[in-house]
């Protein structure tokens, strides 16, 4: 296999090689974007989702873009990752589907595990559910991957594992005291992946996402992420809530950067990539006040006027004050090179939300 040391080489490899991929959380924001990229490059995909935070409309959107590939190369199984039999049933359904079409698919090559019950506030409200889906569900998928001898298991971790560590930028080897049940579940994922790699020789790669945003991210609900929620509020002239004094900073990461990181994590030929966790971000920060202004400017550029009001509220329990990632490890090990800054990402996201 030719060396794959950057994203361009990874995509070129996909164009000339077909693999079978399992995506958990496939109907979600990140999962459906991964599905779109894989189908575009003629890959076979098994998708599982219980549709608790994902939506069939996300899958329908991908289907409308690539109808032939969607029908030919993709099988969706609705179910919960807490069900140990789910992945076995999903693979059997896929194998049957492929064999009926004259294509033999004997094994799953790569797993992209995105399914989780997200949100720090939600985990504080209901830690039991967060643990069930994010730990038990994770372990089920990891154990299934071990039993199926997949090539590499790529999973979504989170910047929340840095807890109260004050050092900026965040580097992978230095974490602080965890501040929420959600952070505990994600750190537990990393521990399980490490132990499985050492004991069962399964290759694992953890991706610590920093505030991912972009098209198809749900703006509704009490646990909605800040960017889609604010865009929706601006468009509807609703009050925009900022928790704290507005000086809180985040390293926002556009979805295309996350898709790139997943492809590289699975396909990279660097022998040192496995058994590690990587920050996936841009490596720059912006305050929430600056973010609100950026969204407003993008609306104005589209001749959209908004009479929104900003209301500052108390800091939320479990929130991190400042977040900024060092992405040197991902750059050096897998060739990760983010294509979109927060400014470019907001511009592309705005087109989605305005026209949706």
- What is the arithmetic mean of pLDDT over 223-232? 75
CATH class of the structural domain 7-210+254-281+326-339? alpha beta
DSSP 62-102: HHHHSHHHHHHHEEEEE--TTSTTHHHHHHHHHHHHHHHTT
Report the distance separating Cα 38 and Cα 42, nearest Å. 6
What pTM was computed for the model? Answer: 0.92
Contact at 8 Å (CB) between 211 and 291?
Answer: no
Q: Stretch 256-268: mean pLDDT, rounded?
A: 97
**pLDDT band per the 50, 70, 90 thresholds, residue 105:** low
Maximum Cα–Cα distance for the chain, whole Å?
Answer: 61
Residue range 302-308: mean pLDDT, rounded = 73
Three-class secondary structure of residue 310 per DSSP: strand
The predicted structure's pLDDT at residue 98: 61
Question: In terms of pLDDT, which residue wins out, 20 or 356?
Answer: 20
Residue in 265, 186, 234 with CA at minimum distance from that of residue 6 = 265
Q: Of 172, 167, 175, 183, whose CA–CA distance to 206 is shortest?
A: 172
Which residues lie below 8 Å from residue 194, measured CB to CB, with a gap of 6+?
Answer: 204, 275
Q: In which band, very low, low, confident or very high, does the pLDDT at 240 lie, cut at 50, 70 and 90? A: confident
Residue range 204-231: mean pLDDT, rounded: 82
Residue 104 has pLDDT above 80, yes or no: no
Backbone angles phi, psi at 272, to 5 degrees: -95, 0
Phi and psi angles of residue 239, each rounded to the nearest 5 degrees, phi first: -70, 130
pLDDT tens per residue across span 190-207: 999 999 999 999 999 999
């Amino acid at each position: 296999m030719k060396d794959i040391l950057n994203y361009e080489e990874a995509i070129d490899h996909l164009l000339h090689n077909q693999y079978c991929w399992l995506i958990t959380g496939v109907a979600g924001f990140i999962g459906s974007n991964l599905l779109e990229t894989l189908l575009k490059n003629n890959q076979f995909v098994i998708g599982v989702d219980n549709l608790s935070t994902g939506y069939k409309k996300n899958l329908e959107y991908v289907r409308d873009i690539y109808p032939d590939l969607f029908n030919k190369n993709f099988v969706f199984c609705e179910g919960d990752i807490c069900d140990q039999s789910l992945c076995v049933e999903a693979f059997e359904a896929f194998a049957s589907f492929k064999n009926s079409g004259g294509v033999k698919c004997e094994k799953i090559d790569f797993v992209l595990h995105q399914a989780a019950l997200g949100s720090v506030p939600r985990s504080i409200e209901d830690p039991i559910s967060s643990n069930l889906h994010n730990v038990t569900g994770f372990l089920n998928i990891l154990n299934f991957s071990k039993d199926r001898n997949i090539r590499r298991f790529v999973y979504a971790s989170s910047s929340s594992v840095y807890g109260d560590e004050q050092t900026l930028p965040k580097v992978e080897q230095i974490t602080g005291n965890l501040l929420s049940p959600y952070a505990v579940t994600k750190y537990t994922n990393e521990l399980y992946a490490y132990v499985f790699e050492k004991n069962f020789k399964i290759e694992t790669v953890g991706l610590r996402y920093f505030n991912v945003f972009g098209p198809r991210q749900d703006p509704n609900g009490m646990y909605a992420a800040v960017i889609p929620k604010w865009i929706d509020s601006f468009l509807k002239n609703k009050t925009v809530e900022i928790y704290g004094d507005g000086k809180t900073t985040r390293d926002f990461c556009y979805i295309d950067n996350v898709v790139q990181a997943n492809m590289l994590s699975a396909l990279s030929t660097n022998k040192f990539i496995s058994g590690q966790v990587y920050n996936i971000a841009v490596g720059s920060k912006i305050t929430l006040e600056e973010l609100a202004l950026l969204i407003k400017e993008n609306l104005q550029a589209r001749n959209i006027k908004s009479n929104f009001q900003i209301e500052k509220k108390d800091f939320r329990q479990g929130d991190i004050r400042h977040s900024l990632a060092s992405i040197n490890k991902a750059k050096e090990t897998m060739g990760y090179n983010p294509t979109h800054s927060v400014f470019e990402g907001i511009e592309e996201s705005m087109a989605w939300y305005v026209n949706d």
